[in-house]
Structure 1
């Protein structure tokens, strides 16, 4: 497409287009600045602000969307999970997001071993269903728990087990599609007789098939001569699937076209046998090159997966303290192969692995080898491999790494020599990259330390790409082996295929899309790799003064936002910690990624231009629960709760805040007053008319019940001298946070008695400590900072003596373990408080205290901050020592999230989150089961929704101690 045509696209009447789409499309039509900013980038180096976004509810709505776009001359790009690494899912076009509504598995036929899916189906959705029949969909990228079939078909995705089942193209049987000019058809393999019949029928379909036959006949010799014969050839178009020996398979020819030719409406895919038993063999070598040299020896034993990784990846993981226990499981070495063998029984899969070990072990200098028989350990080792992207991004002390050359492939038998030459090329350009990937298929992944900020750096990037493409061609490989070309590698395709086949690609594209409106500027006649960069030499983000110091991000909020690499793990919909609001809404703006992208746009300032007053950012943060799940669950540790607090601090500076900020953000004031006169406070909060007025004045959801103040707080009980504590023994400070002190004092009493029985002298501060968590969540950072320092001063006499501070409320403990050091990184007493703050389970583990035995089952809901920032495994170890069976029905937040679930307008989403697993499990629990939750918000959510009163760990321990007597 010419520059003139591109400029013509910019002359679209966007308002008229939006109005026409709204009139006829059954779906959500969004041309607002928030939505356009959200879809301006993906997981690549590129950024293009779209014309608008459509989320169709039905297949017909997709067709209608394209029909209206054509009438207006608007380009179109389809998008699923938005995890593309080469820029193919961002464009100045109307973005069609299939992932929210078009998620239907339409058919599974275990006899025929096929499935029919809509483009928005997440891969693991299908695999969970097909595993019931010991079947699976073979290609499984690392993003398998959140990528969509539409994206996999667009990119021709592969994954760990493609050595067993091949690429996506090899597993697609038929595609239902629509062209830009509105032609709907089903395509697949085509016999010569059927081809003749379709052409004879005429019409647009006949015209397309006639053109495809002409391309086949004209370019067959070049296709056979120039296409690399390797397992992972993904670059370019699959014109080889049009050859007679490949059955003129139009569906496979369209796989990997990256939305540049057609829009997929449905796909019929092949299922393969999924060996129910898997055995993992890990081999350690002196270096990754030696490991690669051994690929052929391992492939003789037909593994279902063969992965490789280098020492630098492990060093990066250690620097980031990522999966430290997993790393320890690797055998000695500086380069590793992970070979997975499958079988119908454990004996069969073990036998294959042992045969490989036996033959390799006979060498004069065999690698170290470790056979895993524990499924838990196997999963831990695979976590090391699947952490590749997260491990190589934002490594402390290492320049930022970027995609751009991250999935090249060569013949598997040449991987060793190729990697040696590739390493030399990296050194020549002064670049750093760890090497890992699908070695059994010859595919190498790496995230490279390109400098995409300066002119010299971008020129070095282009120079590297030029030589890297030459290197791959010399080895008979493919520039892309599963991520596609997009615009980052497409400019170099002529080196790989020659000018004749490049013309064939152009004809293929034009045949399907004569108006060049399908994802223009990608793959064919592409933008240059240095165009449309998110960063680039002109990237000069606003650098405001902030309250949080961002010590791990060069003291810069904009730099912290760059942590998000767009991989989209926050889009997982099951077995997920983050992001609770996305789990409930399936909205991109409620993902950690979406919020980070909007903050990026705010700091960039050319599209979202209102700075701290940005309504786009405020809108996306509204349903952020500040659960901190992203800080742990995100592979690059994006801390959206901190970003939200910082933004709200500035957004509302010198402005009135919403009512909940004053009623719940300043809860330290109102809670202290209520504790002094609990009867009056409860009357105001519980009486039918008064409670409604109280909730309305505080911006509290009318559906919520106000928590009841206890008749006597723990601190009042303690001061009365009725506690009977010890005056000697090892000392520990019991921190009376306001939630347990004023609402659930029995938890503090239980902890006091448990500690006393273990022989500790329990110290309770002379005054109730200030409330520190709520003002942070509402962005009242100046006020919160004062209260944190006040708490530090209160604890200073104890921590200077090395006395541990035990905090029962996880959200309060998390402030001292996390936010304190982010706000005051150089405060010496603050460092002492951070180092000595413990939860009860951590304290029991640290002090090697043997817990009392107790039989039974507990339904356990760990507080989000406990899981994200503290040591959640300590509680599980404690339960195991006690002899309890633990059921943890909800991986993530309970939905209450401090005061989030109390706010007006947030009750519904709070309950939707809670109903995902937690509340049904509590209701189904027997009367003899224990319901355990340490967080005040978790206990309140459970109590109000089920009327089951959960126990705090302290109460559970006291119950067990009393039964032992």
Structure 2
């Protein structure tokens, strides 16, 4: 119906089209290309270069899944096409799929050497070599690994592991890169008298494998995650997820990829931080006079919704300025070679102009991608909602 080429305020779709203004890069353009690949118009089908060209700049943001009146989910289509091209037809994968597409695996293996890795990656020749090997654009910074993962840093503080009041799921991004989100959530909840424990079991949602089309491996990873998390959800103790893209993966992609009986239990049972605070009716801090520029993660917008977060911020008295579109990094997309310029152009559509319009505002971004983009291109350190709430004393009820 062409809504993707006539975007309306409030939507995400379609960030690459907004950056290039080439209809080939719109949801409609990509859908037409895929239709021609499947109906025989393109003689080589999904292996046709036109398919690769059409999908190359898709950020897999899932904006179309909620913004498109026809419900087109190009992120899912792209994953399936990549799976068909590389795993079924045998076309060689780009090296970024082996590194960025399996990032949680590498982060887990390198965790014991995190300090050494960070030190080495500060050396320009080693950083340049690492980027080239991983298929990362030379202009991108490499996020540092956490010196101690969230699970490791909380292992010794367990008070009553049998029956806490809240479980925190240590997704791969929070665990290995942004554990401060988890420690902030623990501090905020503990200040309200709740006993909080971090789930020590390894449970990755498989997002990076999904977005790069490594679907056979993704299925087994997702199945393992839902089997691991299901007993915690079934216990009746609230389970909270801090990275919105990982929670969105459990609520959407997991249902499509996994037929384990536990998938619906997990998908329906795990809460975002804002949902947890709302459900438990916890006191929120006094944010009167605080201006918050919020960049919701695209998967958060499309799958989870950001309304609960906005209501909490407004209840706390904050002045909220919501960034309307995609940040432009979108997981591995903006990091890969060949995508940097479009990633910056997408950021210039909404995020960077909003940051420039509101200097000194608190920048809120729960998603790791959004935080990296704000830091890389806007020189701004964004915070998670849990960090924002933990940094201020709860208001009196």
Please classify the TM superposition score into its range, dividing by the shorter chain length: over 0.9
Higher-helix-fraction structure: 2
1:882 paired residue number: 316
Q: 1:908 aligns with which of 341, 353, 356?
A: 341
Q: Is contact 2:295–2:365 with CA below 8 Å preserved after alignment?
A: yes
Backbone CA RMSD of aligned residues? 1.9
Aligned position for 2:269: 836
**1:679 shift after superposition:** 2.1
Aligned partners of 1:626 and 1:915: how far apart in 2? 18
Aligned length: 392
Contact 1:668-1:771 within 8 A present in 2 as well: no
Q: What is the aligned partner in structure 2 of residue 741 from structure 1?
A: 175
* 1:91 equivalent in structure 2: none
- Over 3 Å counting, the alpha-carbon distance change for 1:728 and 1:658 in structure 2 is closer
Q: Which residue of 2 aligns with 1:827?
A: 260
Q: Is residue 583 from structure 1 mapped to residue 18 from structure 2 by the alignment?
A: yes
2:146 and 2:394 mapped to 1: Cα distance?
A: 24
Selected match of 1:934 from 358, 366, 371: 366
Aligned to 1:686: 122
- Please tell me whether the aligned partners of residues 686 and 705 of structure 1 are also in contact (alpha carbons under 8 angstroms): no
- Check 1:729–1:881 CA distance in 2 against 1; reply closer, same or farther (3 A cut): farther
Q: Deviations over 1:603-642 (max 9, x none)?
A: 211x112233232212101010010000000012111100
SS in 2 for 1:883: coil
Residue 947 (1) aligns with residue 379 (2): yes
* CA distance 1:789–1:659, shift in 2 (3 Å): same
Q: Is the 8 A contact 1:806 1:838 kept in 2?
A: yes
The one of 596, 609, 624 equivalent to 2:43 is 609
Alignment partner, residue 232 of structure 2? 798
CA distance in 1, matches of 2:107, 2:205: 9
- Following superposition, the deviation at residue 760 of structure 1 comes to 3.0
Q: Residues 688 and 939 (structure 1 numbering): CA distance in 2 closer, same or farther, change over 3 Å?
A: same
Report the equivalent of 2:104: 668
Length-normalised TM-score, structure 2 = 0.94
Superposition pairs of residues 435-584 of structure 1, within 5 angstroms: 567-573=1-7, 575=9, 576-584=11-19
CA distance in 2, matches of 1:688, 1:812: 32
Contact conserved, 2:223 with 2:260, CA < 8 A, in 1?
no
**Contact 1:728 1:761 (8 Å CA) reproduced:** no
Alignment CA distance shift 1:636-1:804 (3 Å): farther
Residues in 2 aligned to 1:904 and 1:671: alpha-carbon distance in whole angstroms: 21
Please say if residues 858 and 885 of structure 1, whose CA atoms lie closer than 8 Å, have aligned partners that are also in contact: yes
Q: How far off its partner does 1:727 sit?
A: 6.2
Cα distance in structure 1, aligned partners of 2:320 and 2:331: 24
Distance across 2 between alignment mates of 1:924 and 1:592: 30
Contact 1:684–1:694 (CA<8 Å) still a contact in 2?
Answer: no
Structure 2: distance between partners of 1:690 and 1:743 = 20
Displacement of 1:715 in angstroms is 1.2
Which of these residues, 758, 763, 770, is aligned with residue 192 of structure 2?
A: 758
Contact residue 803 and residue 836 of structure 1 kept, 8 A: no
Q: Distance in 2 between matches of 1:961 and 1:644?
A: 45
Counterpart-to-counterpart distance in 2, 1:698 and 1:641:
22
Greater per-residue strand proportion: 1
Q: State the match for 1:624 in structure 2.
A: 58
Q: Structure 1's 752 and 768: CA in aligned 2 closer, same or farther, altered over 3 A?
A: farther
What is the alpha-carbon distance in structure 2 between the residues aligned to residue 672 and residue 752 of structure 1? 22
Would you say the 8 A contact 1:842–1:871 is kept in 2? Answer: no
Helix, strand or coil at the partner of 1:854: coil
- C-alpha distance 691-867 of structure 1, shift in aligned 2 (>3 A): same
Q: Secondary structure at the match of 1:664?
A: helix
Q: How much does 1:726 deviate? A: 6.0
Residue of 889, 908, 921 corresponding to 2:354: 921
2:134 is equivalent to residue 702 of structure 1: no
Instruction: Write the distance in 1 (CA, Å) between the matches of 2:97 and 2:28.
Output: 25
Q: Which residue does 2:31 correspond to in 1?
A: 596
The Cα shift of 1:714 comes to 1.3
Q: How far did 1:689 drift?
A: 0.5
2:91 to 641, 644, 655: 655
Distance 1:641 1:725 in 2: 42
Give the conservation status (yes or no) of the 8 Å contact 2:38–2:46.
Answer: no
1:142-184 deviation digits (Å, cap 9, x = unpaired): xxxxxxxxxxxxxxxxxxxxxxxxxxxxxxxxxxxxxxxxxxx
**Contact residue 729 and residue 759 of structure 1 kept, 8 A:** no
Maintained 8 Å contact 1:805/1:833: no
Measure how far apart 1:739 and its partner are. 1.4
Counterpart-to-counterpart distance in 2, 1:658 and 1:760: 46
1:714 to 150, 160, 172: 150
User: Given the superposition, is the C-alpha separation of residues 597 and 816 from structure 1 closer, same or farther in structure 2, using an over 3 Å criterion?
Assistant: same
CA apart distance, 1:791: 0.8
TM-superposed CA distance for 1:963, in Å, is 8.7
d(CA) in 2 for partners of 1:884 and 1:598? 45
Q: Which gives a bigger RCO, structure 1 or 2 (Cα 8 Å, sep 6+)?
A: 2
For the residue of structure 2 that corresponds to 1:767, the secondary structure is: coil
Q: Match of 1:861?
A: 295
CA distance in 2, matches of 1:780, 1:727: 35
How far is 1:687 from its partner? 1.1
SS of 1:914 mapped into structure 2? helix
CA–CA distance in 2 between the matches of 1:728 and 1:602?
54
Change (3 A) 1:631 1:573: closer
Cα separation, 1, equivalents of 2:235 and 2:316: 32
Distance 2:321 2:36 in 1: 42
Unaligned runs of 5+ residues in structure 2 are: none
In structure 2, how many angstroms separate the alpha carbons of the residues matched to 1:699 and 1:613? 22
Whether contact under 8 Å (1:714, 1:742) holds in the other structure is yes
1:427-470 superposed Cα distances (whole Å, 9 cap, x missing partner):
xxxxxxxxxxxxxxxxxxxxxxxxxxxxxxxxxxxxxxxxxxxx
Distance 1:922 1:615, change over 3 A: same
Q: Structure 1: where are the runs of 5+ without partners? A: 1-566
Displacement of 1:771: 5.0
* Alpha-carbon distance in 2 for matches of 1:760, 1:603: 54
CA displacement at 1:844 relative to structure 2: 1.7
Deviation at 1:846, TM superposition (A): 2.4
What is the distance in 1 between the residues matched to 2:305 and 2:225?
A: 22
1:682 positional shift = 1.4
